[in-house]
Structure 1
Amino acid sequence: MYFIGFLCLGSVGYIMGGSLPNVQCMENEQEALLKFKEGLVNHWDRLFSWMVEEEADCCKWRGVKCNRTTGHVMALDLHSQSPNESLQGELNYSALLDLPYLTYLAWNLNDFKQSQIPQFTGSLPNLKYLNLSNANFRGNIPSDLGNLSRLHSLDLSSSSYHSLGANNLDWLRGLSSLKILDLGGVDHSKAVNWLNEINMLPSLVELHLFDCNLNKLPSSLPRVNFTSPEIIDLSLNSFNSPIPWPQFPEWLCTQKDLLYIDISDASISDIVPDWFWNISTKVEHMILVSSQLRGKVPDLSPLANFSHLDLGENNFDGPLPRFSANMKSLRLYGNSFSGPISSICEWMVANSSLVDVQLFSNKLSGLLPDC
């Protein structure tokens, strides 16, 4: 026991004391990076440091991070800060197969000229972070991404109108460690059982499926396995259903850790159930804009973290509800709220942080008070 403890303390002291050996990157991994660079074009010369010279060390190159003790390349961060500095050209994908210890790969905000996401990406077994968002990829998402069993974060979102697509989300079943999933702007019109596949991700914390052409919003699940999301964004999906409108999703009642939820522009026509307003004591942002939701909004003042609420362009009625003293943005426009408008003075007195209030196009009465 004493010997083991001595080794542990010695190792910690070695790292913390700064007495690291002069470990450079592995020669074969440096050659792989240079091969990868060959097809890339950048007018701002972002990869100027990627040069072959005497005693060159790729661990010091821009965008490259190495393990401090082994010299293996662990991270390749080539994301662009602006369109002007984006990388372009053809990617030598196979070169990256010589970087087997890679855990972090970011190519977002570049321009890869409508090429397809490479199949090999699923052959990087240690990858934990993958961001290919807004990099001008097209075609179908390769299903071999499901081989990345250690992946924690996956971002394939795109602002190019549905240039990426997926026939199904079956491949997600292999990503049991996934915490963050962003497929916003990816065409999922053919993914019939999308929620069942999402339900197989028990560690999921963030779910972004906005503007995905999702056609069906199941109202329930036989058993909900993902219960820890803090962010759910299903906005800008024109869900349809044979009943004829989608019902309010009952499976949301299991999401007790939500901080942010957006199901706006989702064509849901239903009464919002009472449990939804108390879905999470942690909720901060709730966005339910432009659906066909109806019902009365209860007293929400006990939700101390609630700071942004947008219920615009729905069919809510009844008196204006009370809100948290920390509310910053309150948008209730385009509904049928009724009663005296003078109640807003109570909000202003109790809430000094309120900076955005939109109440137009309701059925409120009385003169606008001078608060």
Structure 2
Amino acid sequence: MKSLAHLSLIDNQLEGGIPKFFGNMCTLQTLDLSWNNLTEKLHLFVQNLSGCTENSLETLRLDRNQLTGSLPAMTKFSSLRELRIGENRLTGFLNKNFGLSTLVLLYLQENGIRGSLPDLTGMSSLRWLYLARNELNGTLTETVGQLSKLEILDISSNSLEGIISEAHLLKLSRLKYLGLSFNSLSLNLSSHWVPPFQLDIIRLGACTLGPHFPKWLQTQKNFSEIDISSSRISDSIPRWFWDLSHRIESLNLSYNQINGSLPNLSLKFSGFPAI
């Protein structure tokens, strides 16, 4: 199969790893082996894929397998744009030599990856970054704020801690999805700060936003979902908040100390969202 460009074996019962001849597929652009039962160590899988495939491979999807081991450097795959290895059994650390500037999508969620996030400026093409439900700790690097093409940032359900400042969000003008929930993060943003983005999804549950209601939310006009539960807000909801996006489908303000009165929500929504 010397001219093969796209190979999908998704959702079968494949086991083990892949043979070394995969590395000799010099025209292979897409390899999708997700939803199988592959159990090989990831660095051996990558080693067997090495060869002239390194110059052609653009998409590698290995989601929902049983791959183990730590994250190997992927910099030898010079054309790689999409890497999906979420929902496996990977461990180890995410270091600055892992990715490359061509990556557009990195999906690593639901593994056992630990440690702090490295300098991300080398991944300047990233548009989608999924790191949720791992064991990441330490602080969030400010270099994430330099990823000007980023549209999705999901680092929820880890053990990250510290302050999120305006520097973390500085150049994220294309951001649509912000997922920081279920970490130990505090958002320290000026009351006069105007975000560079318009978010569709806002997930900040269990982040510290209070004690005052976050005024920067007044700038967000297009979101369909907002979760600011358990965010230590002890304030009344300002009137401007109820001028909600017409797209709102889910609203979660639970487990705060919000006071005041509610408006007639039936006048605010054409159909009731999940509250």
1:157 paired to 2:140: no
Q: 1:188 to 1:59 in 2, by over 3 A?
A: closer
Deviation at 1:61, TM superposition (A): 4.9
Partner of 2:180: 209
What is the alpha-carbon distance in structure 2 between the residues aligned to residue 104 and residue 208 of structure 1?
Answer: 20
Q: 1:166 to 1:219 in 2, by over 3 A?
A: same
Where in structure 2 are the equivalents of 1:130-141 lying within 5 Å? 130-141=106-117
- Choose which of 68, 71, 77 in structure 2 pairs with 1:88: 68
Partner of 1:186: 158
Query: Which one-letter code corresponds to 1:211 in the other structure?
Result: F
Partner of 1:100: 78
Fraction of identical pairs, as percent: 27
Partner of 2:250: 285
What is the alpha-carbon distance in structure 2 between the residues aligned to residue 273 and residue 231 of structure 1?
Answer: 21
1:300 paired to 2:259: no
1:265 paired to 2:230: yes
What is the alpha-carbon distance in structure 2 between the residues aligned to residue 235 and residue 204 of structure 1?
Answer: 18
What is the alpha-carbon distance in structure 2 between the residues aligned to residue 208 and residue 234 of structure 1?
Answer: 6
Runs of 4+ in 1 over 6 A off after TM superposition: none
Deviation at 1:209, TM superposition (A): 0.4
Partner of 1:52: 21
What is the alpha-carbon distance in structure 2 between the residues aligned to residue 164 and residue 177 of structure 1?
Answer: 23
Is this contact kept in 1: 2:200–2:224, CA < 8 A? yes
Deviation at 1:110, TM superposition (A): 1.2
Q: 1:78 to 1:194 in 2, by over 3 A?
A: farther
Q: 1:24 to 1:302 in 2, by over 3 A?
A: same
Q: 1:272 to 1:44 in 2, by over 3 A?
A: same
What is the alpha-carbon distance in structure 1 between the residues aligned to residue 242 and residue 165 of structure 2?
Answer: 26
Partner of 2:46: none
1:78 paired to 2:62: yes
Deviation at 1:24, TM superposition (A): 4.0
Where in structure 2 are the equivalents of 1:1-371 lying within 5 Å? 23-24=3-4, 45=15, 47-48=17-18, 50-52=19-21, 58=28, 61-63=31-33, 72-80=56-64, 85-93=65-73, 96-113=74-91, 115-122=92-99, 124-143=100-119, 145-158=120-133, 160=134, 163-190=135-162, 192-218=163-189, 220-226=191-197, 228-237=198-207, 239=208, 246-304=211-269, 306-310=271-275
The unaligned stretches of length 5 or more in structure 1 are 1-21, 26-42, 65-70, 311-371
Query: Which one-letter code corresponds to 1:72 in the other structure?
Result: S
Is this contact kept in 2: 1:219–1:249, CA < 8 A? no
SS in 1 for 2:58: strand
Query: Which one-letter code corresponds to 1:185 in the other structure?
Result: S
SS in 2 for 1:291: coil
Deviation at 1:272, TM superposition (A): 0.4
SS in 2 for 1:253: helix
What is the alpha-carbon distance in structure 1 between the residues aligned to residue 150 and residue 71 of structure 2?
Answer: 26
Cα RMSD of the aligned pairs, angstroms, is 2.8
The unaligned stretches of length 5 or more in structure 2 are 6-12, 35-54
Q: Considering fraction of residues, name the structure with more helix.
A: 1
Q: What is the TM-score of this pair, normalised by structure 2?
A: 0.79
Q: What is the TM-score of this pair, normalised by structure 1?
A: 0.60
Deviations 1:122-176 (A, max 9, x none): 4x11111011112211111111x22222111001112x5xx21243431113210
Q: 1:207 to 1:92 in 2, by over 3 A?
A: closer
What is the alpha-carbon distance in structure 1 between the residues aligned to residue 140 and residue 116 of structure 2?
Answer: 10
Query: Which one-letter code corresponds to 2:200 in the other structure?
Result: E
SS in 2 for 1:261: strand
SS in 1 for 2:115: strand
Query: Which one-letter code corresponds to 1:120 in the other structure?
Result: N
Larger RCO, structure (CA 8 Å, separation 6 or more): 2
Query: Which one-letter code corresponds to 2:62 in the other structure?
Result: L
Q: 1:100 to 1:60 in 2, by over 3 A?
A: closer
What is the alpha-carbon distance in structure 1 between the residues aligned to residue 183 and residue 70 of structure 2?
Answer: 27
SS in 1 for 2:121: helix
Highest Rg: 1 or 2? 1
Is this contact kept in 1: 2:61–2:85, CA < 8 A? yes
